[in-house]
Amino acid sequence: MDVTRDIVLPVDRDAAWEVVSDPEAWLAERADLELVPGAEGTLDERRTIVEEVSPGERLAFWWGEEGALLTRVELTLDDVRDGTRVTVVESGPATGPVASALPSMAMVPA
């Protein structure tokens, strides 16, 4: 079960990434999270685990409010004629094998 949204930003991919990869600019009022794979922290009240950080291309993480199942968020940047398209896909909530794979992923050294 996925929710997909996208937006075209009138800037190049590097400029778009600079803002996308700054959670406090748009994702949360308070971000206590290092953007490196395996890092765990919080975006506002949501527990968050970083899965992938590919500068200029992709950012993927898992998040969820206290006690809730985590959902996966993937942000992808693409060049388009008018700038950069940012596509977000939130999938979840995680059940089954995906959810059980999480603890091991969280232990990936930062």
Nearer to another protein, 16 or 39 (CB): 16
> Taking the CB of residue 17, how many other CB atoms lie within 10 A of it?
21
Q: Smallest gap, in angstroms, from Cβ of residue 109 to another protein?
A: 29
25 is an interface residue for another protein by CB under 8 A: yes
Cβ proximity to another protein, 38 vs 44, nearer residue = 44
Which residues contact residue 73 at a Cβ distance below 8 angstroms, ignoring those fewer than 6 apart?
Answer: 60, 61, 62, 63, 88, 89, 90
Residues 61-100 that bind another protein (CB under 8 A): 71, 86, 88, 90, 92-96
* Cα–Cα distance for residue pair 27/90, rounded to 1 Å: 13
| Span from 10-18, 31-39, 50-58, 60-68 in contact with another protein (CB under 8 A) | 10-18
- Residue closer to another protein (CB basis): 53 or 99: 99
Residue 92 to residue 94: CA distance in whole angstroms: 5
Q: Output the CA torsion sign for 44, 50, 95, 107.
A: negative
Cis upstream peptide for 37 (omega within 30°): no
What residues make contact with another protein under the rule CB under 8 A? Answer: 1, 3, 5-7, 9-11, 15-16, 18-20, 22, 25-27, 71, 86, 88, 90, 92-96
